Amino acid sequence: MKSSKLFGISAFAVLATIISCKPKGTETAVSGDAAEKVYVAPGKYDEIYNFVSGGFNGQMNVYGLPSGRLLKVVPIFSVNPENGYGFNEETKPMLETSHGFIPWDDQHHLELSQTNGEQDGRWIFANANNTPRVARVNLKTFRTEEIIELPNSAGNHSSPFITENTEYVVAGTRFAVPTDDMNGDVPINSFKQNFKGVISFIGVNKDSGDMDLRFQIEAPGVNFDLSHAGKGKSHGWFFFSCYNSEQANSLLEVNASQNDKDFIMAVNWKKAEEYLKAGKGRKVKTQYAHNKFDESTQTATSKMEQEVTVLSAKELKDICYFMPTPKSPHGCDVDPTGEYIVGSGKLAALIPVHSFTKMLKAIKNKEFAGEYDGIPILKYESTLYGEVQKPGLGPLHTEFDGKGNAYTSFFVSSEVVKWDIKSLKVLDRQPTFYSVGHLMVVGGDTKKPFGKYLVAYNKITKDRFLPTGPELTQSAQLFDISGDKMKLLLDFPTFGEPHYAQAMPASLIKDKQLKFYKIADNKHPYATKGEAESKVVRQGNKVHVYMTSIRSHFAPDNIEGIKVGDEVYFHVTNLEQDWDVPHGFAIKGNQNAELLIMPGETCTLKWIPKKAGMFPMYCTDFCSALHQEMQGYVRVSPAGSSTPLTYSNKKGQFLLSFFFIKSKN
Ligand code: K7E
Ligand code: CUA
C-alpha cells in the first residue's frame, strides 16, 4: 500500500532524527537561560495556572507555570482520602450513576469556560471516559460541583468541549452502542444495524453553571474521537473526528485501519436547536444520574433523570455532514479565527486542513461524494484548504498561538512541529522526551491564545527522572514559543496519565478565590454554629454528633454511651473564619477516610463501631501549636448495655444527653 510505504520511509527518517537527537539529551536541548525563565523566586507567584487531566486516576492536577510546581490535586471522578471526597456523607452522591456508586473513572479532557470565545475563569469541565459523565469544577473553590451522566453513550472521549459562550458542553461517544431504548442484548456482529454513535449537547446555565442534557444527536455507528466547537465565523457548528468508518467490531487495530479516509463530522447545532424547538426529537426513556453539590448546604444530591430527546441525523438531513479526513483522525482542532479545521490522522503522512468557508459552499452546492449511513459526504477537495506535507509521524493534536501558527504533537516521531496555518509550511520541530500525546498552548483552543508557552504531555519518560520501580512517572515539558524557534525550558512529572490540559493567566482567578465559608450562611442541616450548641442526639440506633472544631479542641471531645450496632454520624463544623485553617477529623477504625473540613463548613463522617472499647479521635491537620492536643475519646459499650449517653462540652463537664429520641420502630 502506498501509505504504508510512506510510513516506512518517514519512520526511517524519524528514527534517524531520534538517534541523532538522543545523545544530545537535555543538556544541549536546553539553552543557558532556561533555568532563569522557569525560576519563580520564593514568595513569588507563577504566571499561569495549568490544569492537567489525570487520566486513569480520575483527578485533575493543578500546576503553576513556568515553575512546574504542583499546587493541588482536585478529585473529580475519584474518591480522595485526603479530604474525604466521595467518602463523607456530603459528597458520596457526587459519584452516583445509573450503575450505582462509581469511585473511579478515566479522565482525559479538560475545558475552561469561555465568554465570547475567551477564557472567563469561572469553571472547568472534565470528562469521564469509562462510565460516561461530564463534571463541572468551580474555579473559586477548586471543587467539583456537578456531575451529569450521559445516556446512550459509551466511552465518553470526544468530551467535554464547549461552544464559545459556554452555551453547551458537548460530548461524543467513542464506542458505538445500541441506544438505551433498544434492546442491547444483540449479537455483537449486528454492529451495522444496531449500533449508533450518539453525541450529547449539555446546556450550561449562564449564571449558576448548572448543566442539563438539552438534547442528543443520533449519528451512524462510528467511533467519535475528539471534537472542538466552531468559533467566530463558525460559531454554531461543532466538529467531531471519527475513526472506524469501516464499522469493525473486532481487531480494530487492523480492521478499522482499512479506509484511506475516515471523517470529521460537522454538526450544525443551531439547526439542531431549531428542530428541537419544532418537536422533531424522539423522547428516549432512559436513566442517568445528575449530581449537584449545593454550596449553601455543603451537601450533594443525586437525582435520577428519566428521559432525553434524541434527534436523528439520518432523518434531519441538514444537521450533520461528513468531511473525508485521512486516516483514523484523532485530534480535531479549530484555529482562533474559526476558519480552519485541522484533523490529525494517526496513520496519515500529512495533516489535512479543512476550510469552513469552503465547507459552507460545498454544502450549498451539494458537492457530495455520496452518503454514509444516510449522512451526506462532502467531497474531500471541496472542503480541503490544503495539506501540511511530511509533517512527522503519528500526528495527534494541534493547538494555536494566535499569531498564525499551529503546533501539532507527533506520537510516533516524538516531536512537536510548528507550522504556518496559511502557507502550511513547517517552520520548526523540537523533539519531546518521549512520545507526546496532547500538547497545549496557554489558551490555545480559544479565540485569543495567550501564546507564550506550550506544554507537551508525554507518555514515556524512561531515562528522564529517577526510576520508581516498574512504573515510571509521566511528564510534561514546557516550551517557550515566544520566538521563531520553540525552546525547551523544563521537564516536570505528572500524575496518573496526562491527556489534554488547559491553562490560563493566573490573574484571571487568583484574586477571586473563596477564602472560607461564612458560618452565618451555612445551611447544612446538621451545622453547629457555636460550641454551646454542640450535642449528641440518639435516634434509635443512629447517633448524631453535632460537633465543632476550632483551634485547638473539639466539642464535645468525650462521648460515652455509644453501643455496638450503632450508626454514628459525626457532623463536624469548623468554626474558624479565616483563610486556610481546615481541621481534620478521624476516629480509630473508621473505614472511609478522614474529614478535612474547611473554615465555616460542615462535614459528616459515618462510623459503625464493630466492637466495644475505647476509640480515640483526633484532628489530622496540623492546625496550631496545640494541634496534638486536639483529640478526644469515644467509649463504645456492648449492644444492649445500659451506659447512658453522655458527652463533655468545652468546660469539661459531662452532660447527660437530653436529646434521647425513641426509635420510630
Ligand atoms: Cu489524545 Cu484521550 Cu485526547 Cu490522550 S487522548 S493523548
Ligand atoms: Cu485542628 Cu489540628
Mean pLDDT by 10 residues, the chain (665 residues): 38 39 54 90 97 98 98 98 97 98 98 98 98 98 98 97 98 96 93 96 98 98 97 98 93 91 97 98 97 97 98 96 96 98 94 98 98 97 97 97 98 97 98 97 98 96 94 96 97 96 98 98 98 96 98 96 98 98 98 97 98 98 96 97 90 56 38
Q: Which atom of ligand 2 is nearest to the CA of 628?
A: 2
pLDDT at 306: 97
pLDDT at 552: 94
Q: Nearest ligand, CA of residue 158?
A: 1
Is the CB of 346 within 6 Å of ligand 1? no
pLDDT at 14: 40
The residue whose CA has the least distance to atom 1 of ligand 2 is 583
Q: Which atom of ligand 1 is nearest to the CA of 500?
A: 3
Q: Nearest ligand, CA of residue 445?
A: 1
End-to-end CA distance of the chain: 76
How far from the centroid of its chain's Cα atoms is residue 229's Cα? 17
What's the rounded Cα separation, in Å, for the pair 521 and 511?
A: 22
Locus of grid cell 463522617: 605
Kindly report the number of other CB atoms within 10 A of residue 365's CB atom. Answer: 10
Is the CB of 172 within 6 Å of ligand 1? no
Q: Which atom of ligand 1 is nearest to the CA of 499?
A: 4
Alpha helix stretches (DSSP H) within 22-84: 25-29, 34-38
Name the amino acid, one letter, at 308: V
Alpha helix stretches (DSSP H) within 329-487: 356-364, 380-383
Is the CB of 627 within 6 Å of ligand 2? yes
Q: Using DSSP bridges, classify how beta strands 583-587 and 329-334 pair: parallel, antiparallel or unpaired.
A: unpaired
Is the CB of 191 within 6 Å of ligand 1? no
Query: Rounded to the nearest whole angstrom, what is the distance from the C-alpha of residue 551 to the centroid of ligand 1?
Result: 45
- Provide the Cα torsion 445, 447, 451, 456; round to 10°: 0
Q: Which atom of ligand 2 is nearest to the CA of 618?
A: 2
What's the rounded Cα separation, in Å, for the pair 310 and 282?
A: 5
Contact 326, 261 (CB under 8 A): yes
pLDDT at 30: 78
What's the rounded Cα separation, in Å, for the pair 114 and 137?
A: 14
**Cα-atom radius of gyration of the chain, to the nearest Å?**
28
What's the rounded Cα separation, in Å, for the pair 197 and 207?
A: 31
Secondary structure (3-state) at 408: strand
Q: Nearest ligand, CA of residue 172?
A: 1
Name the amino acid, one letter, at 578: D
What's the rounded Cα separation, in Å, for the pair 107 and 77?
A: 7
Name the amino acid, one letter, at 252: L
Q: Is residue 183 classed exposed, middle or buried when 0-12, 13-18 and 19+ CB atoms within 10 A define those classes?
A: exposed
| Complete edge-to-edge strand list for the sheet that includes strand 340-345 | 329-334, 340-345, 350-355, 384-389
The residue whose CA has the least distance to atom 5 of ligand 1 is 499
Is the CB of 438 within 6 Å of ligand 1? yes
Q: Which atom of ligand 1 is nearest to the CA of 331?
A: 1
Q: Nearest ligand, CA of residue 159?
A: 1
Kindly report the number of other CB atoms within 10 A of residue 148's CB atom. Answer: 24
Query: Rounded to the nearest whole angstrom, what is the distance from the C-alpha of residue 619 to the centroid of ligand 2?
Result: 4
What's the rounded Cα separation, in Å, for the pair 129 and 80?
A: 19
Question: What are the phi and psi torsion angles at 364 (to 5°)?
Answer: -60, -45
Is the CB of 553 within 6 Å of ligand 2? no
Give the Å distances, CA to CA, from 25 to 20, 411, 468.
10, 18, 21
Q: Which residues have C-beta within 8 Å of that of residue 13, sequence separation ≥ 6?
A: none
Q: Nearest ligand, CA of residue 630?
A: 2
Kindly report the number of other CB atoms within 10 A of residue 113's CB atom. Answer: 19
Q: How much is the pTM?
A: 0.94
Query: Rounded to the nearest whole angstrom, what is the distance from the C-alpha of residue 499 to the centroid of ligand 1?
Result: 5
Secondary structure (3-state) at 580: coil
Name the amino acid, one letter, at 1: M
pLDDT at 32: 78
Question: What are the phi and psi torsion angles at 298 (to 5°)?
Answer: 55, 30
Query: Rounded to the nearest whole angstrom, what is the distance from the C-alpha of residue 551 to the centroid of ligand 2?
Result: 6
Cell of residue 219, nine digits: 449519528
What's the rounded Cα separation, in Å, for the pair 267 and 320?
A: 5
Secondary structure (3-state) at 510: helix
